[in-house]
Amino acid sequence: MLLLTLPLAAALASLRVPLWGARAITVASGAASFALALALVPTAAHRDVACLRFLRVDAVSAVFLLATGFLYAVVAVYSVGYLSGGHGRPPRYERRVWAGLNLFVWAMLAAPMMSNLALLWVAIEVTTVISALLVAVEDTDGAAEAAWKYVLLASGGLCLALLAVIFAYYAGAQVLGQSYDLGFTQLLHAAPRLPHTAVELAFVLAVLGFGTKMGLVPVHTWLPDAHSEAPTPVSALLSGSLLAVSFYAILRFYQVTQAAVGPAFPRNVLLVFGVASLLLAMLYLFGQRDLKRLLAYSSVEHMGILAIGVGFGAPAALAGVLLHVLAHAAAKGNAFLGAGVFVRKLGTKRISAIRGGLDLLPWSGPLFLVAIFALGAMPPFGLFRSEFEIVAGGLGSGGYAAAAILVVAVTVAFLGLASSVTRMLMLPGTPPGDGAPDRVPSLVAGSADQARAATAVASRPARAVARGEPSGWMVLPVVIGALALLVLGVHPPAELTELFGRAVALLRGTAS
């Protein structure tokens, strides 16, 4: 258990070393964290692990640790390619990003391991402040604006979540006496005797508060800004992992509320928020001009799907939700990392300025297409399996209207996503030389050397870019992510299925 936090603390401390050292340490600690999270799976599938009174891992938290660990490893490798070379930034920038990245992941790994609702809240608030700094590190007007909106909205939301924690304490104290410490297991044991009003109040506040961080619709407004303005590795972590961790907090409140007042109330609350998120995000996916904002709204959509899945409450739907957390982490990570390659290559986030992607990027182009298809829940990938399970669970438990909305909205969202992305990838850029000579007169079309020289010009025209990948470091992680998606979709390992089985039992309150 402790092993999981140690490499991260070590990584932090070692960020005083030279930059290459920081790179090596981060990659190593990313790989180690993922390995540790994997090693945890068989244990957590059978029993809960507790340690030091404040740490506790059960099957539910193991799923979230796995998602974060995976993204950590992937993003660490990617960042080596993304940050190297400097691109006109001072070395201070790279060091800050490395330090922030490690700290951010540390907080996100810590959150699902907390045995205590209050410490869970603290960990999530820590992720907010660190990630706000990571958004601001980009040092542009847009980043400053996004960071300010993010920190203000998320902190305000988390104040509501704190209120939820306090009411949960109040409810627990009625049964367990004044001196209990919000321990989650205690609270769950006492749940049937808790006063209903206080628990319901706490749940609604928690959904609203943590939902702000998760990007549920009425309170999602910070999300597209922060995701689009942050450095790409940070966007991937924000979207794949941070949102999931906030969802984890909601799941914990869901468990308590379900045990205290029955399943109908929390499910209905989540269904309402989920459907709203899904519908609004679906509309925003059309006519989006900025590539990273497009992906950000796709995150809102997927968070809506998660909320709806829990709202259905059937075992199949819950298993689907947990698989969805993992698959979404891999797919959205891939999509953001792929988009980062495009942005690096062409120097713009505008969708209309990116053309001929398949020609320019022999690896990242197709991989990005794969990531988008995976996000749209196309069959061979993990998200297809998870969404299928959620819909099946929804139909099985009588949520016909919501299931129908889910199917339609997911399809429409896929159309929105795919139409923009295929235009980026498939439409031919005008042949090299057409647009280039008038903007960079010295450039002779077709000459590879000079084309490469042109990429060094800051205001280069997009079409004078030569075919080729910016960095192998930025391709490898995306390949790994695509493989993971394939495994999750085609044949999830037996241990994982067991883990999901146990987690579903915990979430339904039927575990022994």
Partner 1 sequence: MSQLLAATVAAPSALSGGANVIAVGVLLAEFGMFRQALLRDQVRLYIAQSVLISALAVVVAATRHLPDLYALAALSFALKVVVVPFVLRRLLRGIGAIGGDPRWSTGDTDIAGSHTLGVASTVLLAIGVAAFGFFTVAALGIRSPVLPVTALSVSVAVILVAFVLMIVRRDVISQAIGFLSLENGVSLTALVVAAGLPLILEIAFLFDLLVAVAVFGLLIRVHHGRAESMSTADLTSLRG
Interacting residues with partner 1 (CB under 8 A): 116, 118-119, 122, 125-126, 128-129, 132-133, 136, 139, 141-142, 144-149, 151-152, 155-156, 159, 162-163, 166-167, 169-170, 173, 178-179, 181-182, 197-198, 201, 224-225, 228-229, 284, 288-290, 293
Two tokens at 84?
């190297």
For residue 50, give the H/E element and its range.
strand 49-51
Nearer to partner 1, 147 or 375 (CB): 147
Nearer to partner 1, 196 or 467 (CB): 196
Nearer to partner 1, 136 or 323 (CB): 136
Nearest of 119, 97, 87 to residue 23 by alpha carbon: 97
Min. distance of Cβ 168 from partner 1 in angstroms?
9
- Three-class SS state of 49: strand
Residues 179 and 117: their CA atoms lie apart, in Å, by 15
Work out the number of other CB atoms within 10 angstroms of the CB of residue 446: 12
- With vertex at residue 164, the alpha carbon angle to CA 199 and CA 317, rounded to the nearest 5 degrees, is 70
* φ and ψ of 116, to 5 deg: -145, 130
Beta-bridge mates of residue 183: 116
Nearer to partner 1, 265 or 388 (CB): 265
CB 391, CB 424: distance < 8 Å: no
Residue type, 462: A
Min. distance of Cβ 195 from partner 1 in angstroms?
8
Two tokens at 369?
């297409």
Nearer to partner 1, 149 or 345 (CB): 149
CB 140, CB 129: distance < 8 Å: no
Residues 333 and 477: their CA atoms lie apart, in Å, by 9
Nearer to partner 1, 155 or 455 (CB): 155
Nearer to partner 1, 145 or 498 (CB): 145
Min. distance of Cβ 175 from partner 1 in angstroms?
13
For residue 374, give the H/E element and its range.
helix 364-375
CB 78, CB 30: distance < 8 Å: no
* φ and ψ of 217, to 5 deg: -60, -55
Min. distance of Cβ 87 from partner 1 in angstroms?
20
Nearer to partner 1, 141 or 449 (CB): 141
Two tokens at 213?
């961080």
Min. distance of Cβ 437 from partner 1 in angstroms?
33
Min. distance of Cβ 124 from partner 1 in angstroms?
10
Residues 320 and 314: their CA atoms lie apart, in Å, by 10
Min. distance of Cβ 296 from partner 1 in angstroms?
11
Min. distance of Cβ 203 from partner 1 in angstroms?
14
